[in-house]
Amino acid sequence: MQRINAHLHSKNTPPYVINLDPAVLNVPFESNIDIRDSVNYEEVMKQYNLGPNGGILTSLNLFATKVDQIVNLLEKRSKPDPENPDRKPIDRILVDTPGQIEAFVWSASGTILLESLASSFPTIIAYIIDTPRTASTSTFMSNMLYACSILYKTKLPMILVFNKTDVKDASFAKEWMTDFEAFQDALRRDENSDTFGGQEGFGSGGSGYMGSLLNSMSLVLEEFYSHLSMVGVSSRVGTGIDEFFEAVEEKRKEFLEDYLPELERRREEREERKKKTREQELDKMMQGMSVDVNNVAEKRPIKVTNDDDDVDVPSDNDDDDDEDDETTREGLQARYAAAMEGKDEGILGDASFAKYLHMQR
C-alpha cells in the first residue's frame, strides 16, 4: 500500500486511500478514511469478550453499517466540485483490507463493502503473495487455492501480485502457471527431496497422497490460471509497480467489458421482478378491496320520502354504485402504486455487482 500510494503521488495522481484494518497500530501512509477513527478495536474486544479475529470481524460489521455514507462520499469525490474547481476528482481508490483473509472475504461485512464499491466503481482484487514463502509446490498450490476461492467468492477481476521479488525472483511462479510440465517436474523434485515432511504416504517419488493431490489440483486450476494476471513486484525497491498498474488498467477494461454488462442485465431483471411483484401486490389488494366494497354496497339502504312515510329500500341504481366504486378503486390504486414506486431500499438494495451475479430466480 505504501509503495503504490507513493508511486501515484510521484505521478501527481494522488489516490483516495481507505484503511479497513482496525487492529493495525501504525500505517506508513495517510488514509482519507480510516476504520480506526470510527471503531475502537480494543474496546470492541473488551465489550464483546472477543479474541483478535472476532474483534476484527465485529469491527468490520460495525463499520459496514455506514457503507452507504462512504460510497456517497466516494462518488462525490470522483466528480468535479463546482464550488472548488481547482480540486481534481479522484481517479483511483486504494482499499487496504485486513490481512486475515477469512475475516474479510467470507464475512457479511466484507461482502457488503465489496458489493457496494463494485456497484459504483470498476473494482479489482489484488491478491498479494509472499514470493520467498511460496517457492515450494505445496505452498504455491495453497496460495492458488486461496486465490481461486477469493475469485469465485467475489466474482471480480483479480491480479496475483508476487511481492518481495528483490529476495526471490517470481519467474518460477509464472512458469508453473503457464507450463504444466514445469510444475510436474518441480513437484517430482519436491517429492524426491522429502519436502512434504517425510510422513507416511506423503512422499516417496510421486506415489504419496500429497503429490497426487497437488498433481490433480494443478490440472483443475489450469483453466483458472487463464483468467488471471500475474505480476512480480518489490515493495521495498519499487520494481514492477508500473507493470502492476498496467495490469490494473487491463482489468479495469475487463470489468467494463465483461462485468458491467452482466451488472446491467441483472439490474434490469431485478427491476422487472420488482415491477411484477408490485403489480401482484396491487392486484391482491384491489381484489380484497373489491370484495369489501361489494359487501357494503349490497347492504347499503337509501331513504325514499313520500307523503305517507319515510321508507328505507335497497338501491337499484347499480350503474352509479359501480361508477363510484370504480372511481374509488382507481384512486386507491394510483396512490398505492405511487407509494410502491417511491420505495427506497438504499444503496445496498439498489445495485451491487456480486449480488447480481449470485442472484438466481
For domain 122-193+214-287, the CATH superfamily is P-loop containing nucleotide triphosphate hydrolases (3.40.50.300)
Q: Do 1-94 and 122-193+214-287 agree at the fold level?
A: yes
Q: Residue 263: pLDDT above 80?
A: no
Comparing C-alpha atoms, which of 281, 302, 305, 285 is closest to residue 293? 285
The amino acid occupying position 219 is: L
The string of pLDDT tens digits covering residues 7-26 is 999 999 999 999 999 999 99
The span from the CA of 355 to the CA of 361, in Å, is 12
The string of pLDDT tens digits covering residues 182-230 is 888 998 888 887 665 544 444 444 446 777 888 788 887 877 887 788 9
The string of pLDDT tens digits covering residues 11-65 is 999 999 999 999 999 999 999 999 999 999 999 999 999 999 999 999 999 999 9
Q: DSSP labels for 69-85? A: HHHHHHHHHTS--TT-T
The string of pLDDT tens digits covering residues 316-337 is 555 555 555 555 556 656 665 6
Let me know: does 137 contact 175? Beta carbons within 8 Å.
no
The span from the CA of 33 to the CA of 115, in Å, is 18
Query: Band of the pLDDT at 354, cuts 50, 70, 90?
Result: very low
* Chain position carrying cell 350503474: 319
The amino acid occupying position 230 is: M
Q: What pLDDT score was predicted for residue 241?
A: 96
Q: Which of 43-52, 73-82, 264-273 has the highest mean pLDDT?
A: 43-52
Q: Where are the domains of the chain?
A: 1-94, 122-193+214-287
Q: Residue 71: pLDDT above 60?
A: yes
The string of pLDDT tens digits covering residues 128-175 is 999 999 999 989 999 999 998 998 888 889 999 999 999 999 999 999
Helix, strand counts (H, E) of the chain: 16, 8
Task: Tell me which of 208 and 245 has the higher pLDDT.
Answer: 245
User: Mean pLDDT, to the nearest integer, of 291-300?
Assistant: 57
The string of pLDDT tens digits covering residues 99-121 is 888 888 989 999 899 988 988 89
Residue 9's contacts (CB-CB under 8 Å, 6 or more residues apart) are: none
Q: Residue 356: pLDDT above 50?
A: no
Let me know: does 221 contact 148? Beta carbons within 8 Å.
yes
Comparing C-alpha atoms, which of 261, 232, 228 is closest to residue 128? 232
CA R_g for the chain: 31
Domain 1-94 has CATH 3.40.50.300: yes
Q: What pLDDT score was predicted for residue 250?
A: 94
Residue 48's contacts (CB-CB under 8 Å, 6 or more residues apart) are: 54, 55, 58
